[in-house]
Structure 1
Amino acid sequence: MLTTLRKIVQDVGAARDLQTALDVIVRSVRVAMQTEVCSVYLYDEETSRYTLRANEGFKREAVGKVTLGRSEGLVGQVGLREEPINLDDAPSHPKYSHIKGIGEEDYKSFLGVPIIHHRNLLGVLVVQHKAQRCYDEGEESFLVTMSAQLAGVIAHAEATGSLHVVPAGKQKKSVRFNGVAGAPGVAIGVAVVLAPPADLSVVPEKKADDVEAELTLFNRALEAVRKDMRATAEKLSDLRPEEQALFDVYLRMLDDKALGAEVCKLIKAGSWAQGALRQVVDEHVRHFEMMDDPYLQERAVDVRDLGRRVLSYLQEEEQVSITYPGKCVVVSEELTPAMLGEVPRESLVGLVSVLGSGNSHVAILARAMGIPTVMGAVDLPYDRMAGRELIVDGNLGRVYSSPSVEMLRHYQKVVDEEEQFSKGLESLKDKQCVTPDNYRIPLWVNTGLMTDTVRSLDHGAEGVGLYRTEVPFMIRERFPSELAQEKIYREQLAAFAPRPVTMRSLDIGGDKSLSYFPIREDNPFLGWRGIRVTLDHPEIFLVQVRAMLKASVGLDNLRIMLPMVTGVSEVEEALHLVHRAHHEVKSEGLDVLLPPIGVMIEVPAAVYQVRDFARRVDFLSVGSNDLTQYILAVDRNNPRVADLYHSLHPAVLQALQKIVHDAHQEGKPVGICGEMAGDPAAAVLLMAMGYDVLSMNATQLLKVKWTLRSMKRSQAKAILDDVMTMDNPRIIRSTLELALRKQGLDQVIGGRWQGDPV
């Protein structure tokens, strides 16, 4: 059955639309399980009914006409219970409901499994048989596997509006895709899909604006590849005849009566050249891969290679054809910084990437540029998004496709209010963050690029709580020299002087890798990262610290921070290396002060050693992003578990309170530099706990300042006392937002769409 399953999955993946995919599944499952009926019932939340959307075994006219209520019949029971139902005598079941006119009364055996995607019931997959028997364990597992495959197909169909038939004049149902918040803010715009060059798998579907022009482009590309093949064959004329014959095979594949003819046929049917090429190549690759003969299977590689060659010429011809609407949301399977450079800045309002995390190069750049961004939207069918209106909610990491009129109106109001609110906050940039009851709390920024620095100074930052030194490493092709690092660090220190700048030592590993220093691990977040890497490579650490120290000469505003510490021995070893670097720099005749040295509290082990660390260092800083994911065992960059990542989880809040208490017991200051600090609602709790510094992205600084200047610390403490008795992070968030609303601070909460859960 594994071979059968693989073939069905390939067939479904190659289907051009939802109905074709459903028909493939019911037909293939019926044959594979040697059963007499296979059906797919899809559920519509708006009508609370199931509709028979595909079937093999019943009368054809039943498809699209047979409907069942949410709790009606055995199909309804499968959906309500959200688990398989396997019966050898279905008609005798008390919930059995006979559907007249389709011949169902002849079938005794029944196996139904729910189709579920991200906890949402999408439908039910059913097989039936006349003989009275229970389907065995293997058959049930097979059908469950098929339902999981079908769930992804249906979810993609939702995005394109093809899941339910929409009556004339009625608005299509909007669809939400979860991702990871990459850069805060909300954007509304038209999707432009960008694909990396010569990658057939990411070519989007698109209609041809000019069929004749597309045919001309394709034939020109085809001839260019033929010319390349002939030239290559001539260069390799010393090969044996049987090896030379490979080029003849390639040329025959490119013949006007072979692949070329099939592509031209699709172009004439309305597809653009790149999309038509992808469809034809995918179809041939699929057929070759399904063959039993190993030699023929390998021909799939040849077809794929030819497709890429033709595509590269097509993209050369068509690269100037991209037109960017006035408000453009760039969508790609994997956004790159180079792609951002292709888009006119005045048109770009939002970014969406199927792959990548909140720490991707693009996300870092997007935050610096102030562009709302969602990363890791793994379920988004990006290749079908071109030309669609999208809402990008970078605050919550969500993308909405085919938004309703009401949703558009709501989010447009959010965008307008955000713009007006941000302008109104500019008057605060030179004012200190002091609460109405005179409690003073410094607000610092997190930086990594010079654009961050400029924006931070414009927003009135009082210092840098986290300078990501890995960013200069990530945008280079090799380790920067000591001199190169010194220049970069000097620029940062000088820009903020005399305000303090906290430089975190190189923090790579996990989701931050260097192309020239690859770290490949099965579980990188629990692997070789942070201080573990630099202690294993003291030559990297010493060069970096020396560069920092030299850059601080005459400015004396440097602070050094050690990431990912889990034990006292790591701190002591790192301190030894810092003192050694300081001695080396002084021996060169430079008058350098030993800067304050601190540690980051990012893992549970560090939470319980705060007092030990505090006795050895000058300050502590909480990295709330990593601390939250390690406490909750939730990868914050994985959208499949994004709903489980809550920085206001009771366990996280208790850890944060313990950290600040223990640090102050030892007389050491403690700050926080994760995303929590830039969340105005969470900042209220952090102030109440007693954190000495809040460090955040520059785009959030004025919002946090306005919030804290509007809230007495005594009120914040009362709110903290209230939420610390609660055991549900969603209730904590709701309580916190309600308290802010009562204070008239609605603007900083963000415009959550009322159709979404809190």
Structure 2
Amino acid sequence: MLNTLRKIVQEVNAAKDLKAALAIIVQRVKEAMGSQVCSVYLLDPESNRFVLMATEGLNKRSIGKVSMAPNEGLVGLVGTREEPLNLEHAADHPRYRYFAETGEERFASFLGAPIIHHRRVMGVLVVQQKERRQFDEGEEAFLVTMSAQLAGVIAHAEATGSIRGLGRQGKGTQEAKFVGVPGAPGAAVGTAVVVLPPADLDVVPDRTVDDIEAEVERFKQALEAVREDMRRLSSKLETQLRPEERALFDVYLMMLDDASIGMEVKRVIRTGQWAQGALRQVVMEHVTRFELMDDAYLRERASDVKDLGRRLLAYLQEERKQNLVYQENTILVSEELSPAMLGEVPEGKLVGLISVLGSGNSHVAILARAMGIPTVMGVVDLPYSKVDGIELIVDGYHGEVFTNPSALLRKQYSEVVEEERQLVKGLDALRSLPCETLDGQRMPLWVNTGLLADVTRAQERGAEGVGLYRTEVPFMINERFPSEKEQLAIYREQLAAFHPLPVTMRTLDIGGDKALSYFPIKESNPFLGWRGIRVTLDHPEIFLVQVRAMLKASEGLDNLRILLPMISGTHETEEALHLIHRAWGEVRDEGVDIPMPPVGVMIEIPAAVYQTKELSRQVDFLSVGSNDLTQYLLAVDRNNPRVADLYDYLHPAVLQALKKVVDDAHAEGKPVSICGEMAGDPAAAVLLLAMGFDSLSMNATNLPKVKWLLRQITMSKAKELLAQLMTIDNPQVIHSSLHLALRNLGLGRVINPAATIQA
């Protein structure tokens, strides 16, 4: 059954649209189960009825015509109960409903399973049999497994179908909505520019070309280049491989032959498709064919074809790399956005970002928030290779993307964009004013930085210091570990830019979702693995060089604070302090006269929450990393769109942990700050103020909004609100109560300007 299932799913994945996918499903399931009928009913969200969309065994003319409400028929019952139904004689059931046009009166037995995707019932998969019989457990299990597998495929095909096949390049005219995860707040209206990862065949879009001969010539050159690579590889490995192993290269060369893949690709190019698109089409057809074969050896050949395809694509793209045309209002779309992609767009042209993978807390989203670019992450159903050049709307508040928006929707969102612009203009006036509540409580607002561009942005918005400087950024953009001298120059620039304000430099925090290409860490569970302080304590040579560079950079400025990430207990703090003192001694021996800077630890692991008092006695200050603390407390990988909606820093457990950290740190007379997304959320900042945090550190974009809100409220009102929310046990209720309370105080405008649009 497993083999059958795998084949069906592969065939369905390769189908060109939803209709074709459903036709394959009903045919293959009917064959696999030996039943006389297999049908798929899909729930139409507009009419809220289950519509017969494909069948093998019933009258095909009833497809699209027969439908039933959720409270009608056996199909409606399976859909509403959200569980399988197995009946020996369907007509005896009180919910049975007969449709003359389907011709189903001949079938007695009925087995139906709901198709559910992310808690949403999408349809029902049904098999029927003429003779009366109970389908056995194995058959029921197969149908349930099949519908679970198909839910994702149907969701994707359904979404894709709303854009695909409506015009030569797949540029449709219908408005469609795709839901992802909010990445960075704001709204944008613009044109999609799809950025493809290097040499990834799956995501090559369709594109038409006029000069067909030039395209054929480009492909011929790529073919020759790959042939040359193969010959060179073969002779290079002559001494290391046996002749039969080297024969693989001959197989590759044969595949590249004009009588094989080469000829097919040229044929597709001649239909007007560009070389990359033609290559994808041909390679994918071969791969699908190989993957469906029963023979394991032949199945493996699929990866050979893929490999060849990627090699050819790499050559085709090499020449075309810089050919992206950035529109005035560019919305960058990619399977997985990278910081480098953002950097490629000319200044002033980037208005929005869409990433198919990733979540609201991946690094690109954090960067986007720092840059103030509306972003939606994790839009897994968006057929992004088909949207190049079409008009899009990005709603970073709700995590929604609209393709081909109607004139009305475009007008509504254009108004939101303008409203945002006016709000930002109004907030600029706050720059020189202190962040102080109506009853005189001061709250220093610091910034998180990592890029040099952050410095200007932070100063323009009136930051009072740096609560978190991510030192891994210079490491991530390098091709080797930066030397002490190189690090010194970078750190000096940061310290000097903010002098005399404090700059908190976090020691190297790699691992988890932050990788260095020249220092790969391969782990099956990186978030619970070798990351942060664990890496640097295991590599004192990296840690000492970094701390020495920081200390030397602070000479004559004396505004450095050192912060240790991922601390899970007192022993790690002791070890790190020992190394910092050693580096300080070495630097002083070299004649650099600097005082010992304050050292702090990050509270981002639950273990550290319960050791706050002990840790406070060892260090000068504490800083809560709200992103990681939330992730670890709730056991939610913040980069996984499937569970992204469970990641919530207003969860009661998170609020209680934060309150405990502040109380315990203050009991030891130590200041505690908080950095991360929570600190930059104006509504959440009210609660952090009430808890007693000594400073908030956020991305520069949100600083004016937080300052505006905190200047409109009293400390006593904030404390009253916090006390009320700490009694609630449901995160959603906490959110709505908080927002309602702020709206009632007339303070809702900085939270979400797009709230009025009911799209």
Which TM class, normalised by the smaller chain length? over 0.9
Q: Distance in 1 between matches of 2:606 and 2:437?
A: 32
Offset at residue 78 of structure 1 (A): 1.0
Q: Distance in 1 between matches of 2:462 and 2:349?
A: 28
Q: Which secondary structure state, in structure 2, belongs to the residue aligned with residue 3 of structure 1?
A: helix
Q: Which secondary structure state, in structure 2, belongs to the residue aligned with residue 101 of structure 1?
A: helix
- Equivalent position of 2:641 in the other structure: 639
**C-alpha distance 295-538 of structure 1, shift in aligned 2 (>3 A):** closer
- Equivalent position of 1:626 in the other structure: 628
Q: Return the match for 2:223 from 219, 222, 225.
A: 225
Matches within 5 A, 1:568-579: 568-579=570-581
- Equivalent position of 1:199 in the other structure: 200
- Equivalent position of 1:76 in the other structure: 76
Q: Distance in 2 between matches of 1:694 and 1:290?
A: 56
1:420 equivalent to 2:422? Answer: yes
Q: Distance in 2 between matches of 1:255 and 1:374?
A: 44
Offset at residue 355 of structure 1 (A): 3.2
Offset at residue 84 of structure 1 (A): 1.4
Offset at residue 490 of structure 1 (A): 1.1
Offset at residue 520 of structure 1 (A): 1.9
Offset at residue 461 of structure 1 (A): 0.5
Matches within 5 A, 1:71-150: 71-150=71-150
Offset at residue 369 of structure 1 (A): 3.4
Q: Distance in 2 between matches of 1:190 and 1:96?
A: 50
State which drifts further: 91-100 or 186-195: 186-195
- Equivalent position of 2:453 in the other structure: 451
Q: Deviations over 1:91-147 (max 9, x none)?
A: 111111112122211112211111111111111111111122222232222222222
Matches within 5 A, 1:384-533: 384-403=386-405, 405-533=407-535
Q: Deviations over 1:157-191 (max 9, x none)?
A: 3434539999xxx995632322362x443222222
Q: Is this contact kept in 2: 1:359–1:511, CA < 8 A?
A: no
Q: How many residues of Structure 1 are paired with residues of Structure 2 in the alignment?
A: 750
Question: Structure 1: which amino acid aligns with 2:100?
Answer: K
**C-alpha distance 151-703 of structure 1, shift in aligned 2 (>3 A):** same
Offset at residue 247 of structure 1 (A): 7.1
Q: Distance in 2 between matches of 1:68 and 1:15?
A: 27
Question: Structure 1: which amino acid aligns with 2:146?
Answer: M
- Equivalent position of 1:187 in the other structure: 188
Q: Which secondary structure state, in structure 2, belongs to the residue aligned with residue 279 of structure 1?
A: helix
Q: Is this contact kept in 2: 1:490–1:551, CA < 8 A?
A: yes
Q: Which secondary structure state, in structure 1, belongs to the residue aligned with residue 220 of structure 2?
A: helix
Q: Is this contact kept in 1: 2:728–2:734, CA < 8 A?
A: yes
Offset at residue 299 of structure 1 (A): 3.9
Aligned-pair Cα RMSD in Å? 2.9
Q: Distance in 2 between matches of 1:563 and 1:241?
A: 53
Q: TM-score, normalised by structure 1?
A: 0.92
Offset at residue 563 of structure 1 (A): 1.4
Q: Is this contact kept in 1: 2:107–2:130, CA < 8 A?
A: yes
Q: Distance in 2 between matches of 1:472 and 1:377?
A: 30
Q: Which secondary structure state, in structure 2, belongs to the residue aligned with residue 671 of structure 1?
A: strand
Q: Is this contact kept in 1: 2:222–2:316, CA < 8 A?
A: no
Q: Return the match for 1:652 from 651, 654, 669.
A: 654
Q: Deviations over 1:227-261 (max 9, x none)?
A: 75379659968989989987776566456664455
**C-alpha distance 689-111 of structure 1, shift in aligned 2 (>3 A):** same
Q: Distance in 2 between matches of 1:224 and 1:291?
A: 29
Matches within 5 A, 1:718-757: 718-753=720-755
Q: Is this contact kept in 1: 2:223–2:262, CA < 8 A?
A: no
Q: Distance in 2 between matches of 1:219 and 1:501?
A: 56
Offset at residue 366 of structure 1 (A): 3.4
Q: Which secondary structure state, in structure 2, belongs to the residue aligned with residue 615 of structure 1?
A: helix
- Equivalent position of 1:617 in the other structure: 619
Q: Is this contact kept in 2: 1:214–1:273, CA < 8 A?
A: no
Q: Which secondary structure state, in structure 1, belongs to the residue aligned with residue 388 of structure 2?
A: coil
Q: Distance in 2 between matches of 1:313 and 1:467?
A: 39
- Equivalent position of 1:335 in the other structure: 337
- Equivalent position of 1:6 in the other structure: 6
State which drifts further: 534-543 or 35-44: 534-543
1:153 equivalent to 2:147? Answer: no
Q: Which secondary structure state, in structure 1, belongs to the residue aligned with residue 191 of structure 2?
A: strand
- Equivalent position of 1:47 in the other structure: 47
Q: Is this contact kept in 2: 1:18–1:162, CA < 8 A?
A: no
- Equivalent position of 2:169 in the other structure: none
Offset at residue 22 of structure 1 (A): 0.8
Q: Distance in 1 between matches of 2:546 and 2:23?
A: 61
Q: TM-score, normalised by structure 2?
A: 0.92
Q: Which secondary structure state, in structure 2, belongs to the residue aligned with residue 639 of structure 1?
A: coil
State which drifts further: 654-663 or 292-301: 292-301
Q: Which secondary structure state, in structure 1, belongs to the residue aligned with residue 293 of structure 2?
A: coil
Q: Which secondary structure state, in structure 1, belongs to the residue aligned with residue 512 of structure 2?
A: coil
Q: Distance in 2 between matches of 1:77 and 1:243?
A: 59
Question: Structure 1: which amino acid aligns with 2:18?
Answer: L
Q: Is this contact kept in 2: 1:478–1:516, CA < 8 A?
A: yes
Q: Which secondary structure state, in structure 2, belongs to the residue aligned with residue 110 of structure 1?
A: strand
**C-alpha distance 71-535 of structure 1, shift in aligned 2 (>3 A):** same
Offset at residue 384 of structure 1 (A): 2.4
State which drifts further: 46-55 or 610-619: 610-619
Offset at residue 73 of structure 1 (A): 0.7
- Equivalent position of 1:345 in the other structure: 347
Question: Structure 2: where are the runs of 5+ without partners?
Answer: 167-171
Offset at residue 624 of structure 1 (A): 0.9
Question: Structure 1: which amino acid aligns with 2:58?
Answer: F
Q: Distance in 2 between matches of 1:246 and 1:707?
A: 67
State which drifts further: 184-193 or 2-11: 184-193
State which drifts further: 725-734 or 220-229: 220-229
**C-alpha distance 616-495 of structure 1, shift in aligned 2 (>3 A):** same
**C-alpha distance 434-244 of structure 1, shift in aligned 2 (>3 A):** closer
Q: Distance in 1 between matches of 2:58 and 2:674?
A: 63
Q: Distance in 1 between matches of 2:228 and 2:314?
A: 17
**C-alpha distance 325-214 of structure 1, shift in aligned 2 (>3 A):** farther
Q: Distance in 1 between matches of 2:209 and 2:448?
A: 46
Q: Distance in 2 between matches of 1:746 and 1:328?
A: 30
State which drifts further: 24-33 or 334-343: 334-343
